[in-house]
């Protein structure tokens, strides 16, 4: 009997169901003695032994469904070694559940924090395979993560729709895109949607450069300006602060988010009317796009192959459009930032897109280097 535990952890996104479907269909195509233990609400289900028995039928018809049929939750990695309110050792509880159910392996779908905990379980001796899930596309060791392209499509559609109203009313529009630490979604959606200014966490901006860009467009007869802004975008002044100092400043900030702070500053410097659009969690929701359906099915099938070969302790990655296994220890705890000097940034600049930085600046390159 092949006993597989499966869970989805962290923020939800499109194609989680499609990826799980790929795993189960792949395994069940080769073996008929398979039991699937679906842990509910992420690592919480593994900690407290909350699961449901599933069969291949439960994974039928879910290729196009967003969200996750198992539910998910955020369990911060930094608290995994901290006992819960009842004194329960979470790591010991997870390993106990694993052995109590006589599992052959765990299949874990998640992002950066999820992978750190998965690697911890690997170090505890459990057989683990992970799948790269996150709309941020910031997992180290893989060219792509599922959920990313769907999020880009939604953010791009938002920018597309804003174009018509921005043109009609001659306004400045700020579209705030998800991405606290990295700006992959904002960068791709901004270029695809024809944004005039793109602000990323990796490239600290100068508000005076942004204001000048808006005024230049106005002087050239372009009555509107569209900014695609990552929610983690940071000014050059704030980028100089220590991490603790910046967190303290954010805690005292009067604005709901960076978009509102920028709007007030732009209005003061340009006397332009500014409007804000925040697509928020719509970027995580809905049906996965065709690309994500194919991608997640492929990594799911590759995970099935690894399970059948009993090749554990790895993440299924996509490198140069080929699925492969990457050691978990090489992935966990590393973020894949946007490189301010990458060709995509350079090409965007050639298209006339501003990144809010003074001429000659290349952005916060050291941040991209930290992950290496």
3-state class percentages of the chain: helix first, strand second, coil last, to nearest 5? 45, 20, 40
Q: What is the CA radius of gyration of the chain?
A: 22
CA 84 from centre of chain: 27
Q: What are phi and psi of 315, to 5 degrees?
A: -105, 140
**Tokens 């505890």 found at:** 124
Nearest to 303 by CA among 10, 66, 13, 36: 36
Angstrom distance (rounded) from CA 49 to CA 43: 10
Judge whether 45 and 53 are in contact, CB under 8 Å: no
Nearest to 201 by CA among 75, 355, 72, 36: 355
Tell me the β-bridge partners of 277.
175
The two structure tokens encoding residue 95: 């390993």
Q: List CB contacts of 306: < 8 A, sequence separation 6 or more.
A: 129, 312, 314, 316, 325
**Catalytic status, residue 136:** yes
Question: Of 136, 138, 153, 196, which residue is the catalytic one?
Answer: 136
**Tokens 């729709």 found at:** 161
Active site residues: 136
């Amino acid at each position: 009997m092949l006993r597989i535990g499966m869970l989805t952890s962290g923020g939800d996104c499109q194609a989680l169901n499609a990826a799980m479907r790929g795993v189960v269909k792949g395994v069940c195509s080769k073996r008929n003695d398979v039991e699937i233990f679906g842990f509910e609400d992420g690592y919480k289900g593994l900690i407290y032994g909350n699961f449901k028995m599933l069969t291949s039928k439960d994974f039928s018809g879910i290729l196009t469904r967003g969200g996750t049929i198992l539910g998910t939750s955020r369990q911060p990695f930094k608290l995994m070694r901290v006992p819960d309110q009842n004194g329960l050792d979470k790591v010991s509880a997870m390993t106990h559940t694993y052995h109590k159910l006589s599992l052959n392996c765990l299949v874990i779908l998640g992002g950066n924090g999820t992978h750190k905990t998965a690697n911890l379980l690997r170090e505890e001796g459990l057989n683990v395979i992970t799948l790269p899930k996150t709309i941020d596309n910031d997992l180290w060791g893989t060219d792509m993560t599922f959920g990313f392209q769907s999020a880009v499509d939604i953010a791009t559609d938002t920018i597309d729709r804003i174009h018509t109203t921005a043109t009609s009313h001659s306004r400045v529009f700020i579209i705030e895109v998800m991405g606290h630490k990295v700006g992959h979604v904002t960068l791709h959606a901004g270029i695809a949607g024809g944004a005039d200014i793109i602000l990323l966490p990796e490239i600290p901006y100068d508000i005076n450069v942004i204001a000048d860009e808006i005024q230049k467009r106005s002087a050239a007869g372009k009555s509107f300006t569209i900014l695609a802004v990552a929610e983690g975008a940071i000014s050059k002044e704030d980028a100089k602060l220590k991490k603790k100092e910046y967190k303290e400043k954010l805690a005292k900030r009067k604005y709901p988010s960076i978009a509102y702070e920028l709007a007030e500053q732009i209005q003061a410097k340009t006397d332009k009317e500014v409007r804000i659009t925040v697509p928020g969690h719509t970027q995580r929701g809905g049906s996965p796009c065709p690309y994500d359906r194919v991608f997640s099915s492929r990594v799911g099938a590759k995970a099935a192959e690894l399970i059948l070969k009993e090749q554990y302790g790895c993440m299924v990655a996509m490198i140069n459009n080929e699925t492969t296994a990457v050691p978990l220890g090489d992935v966990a705890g590393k973020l894949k930032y946007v490189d301010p000097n990458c060709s995509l940034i350079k090409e965007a600049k050639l298209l006339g897109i501003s990144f809010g930085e003074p001429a000659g600046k290349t952005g916060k390159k050291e941040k991209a280097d930290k992950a290496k």
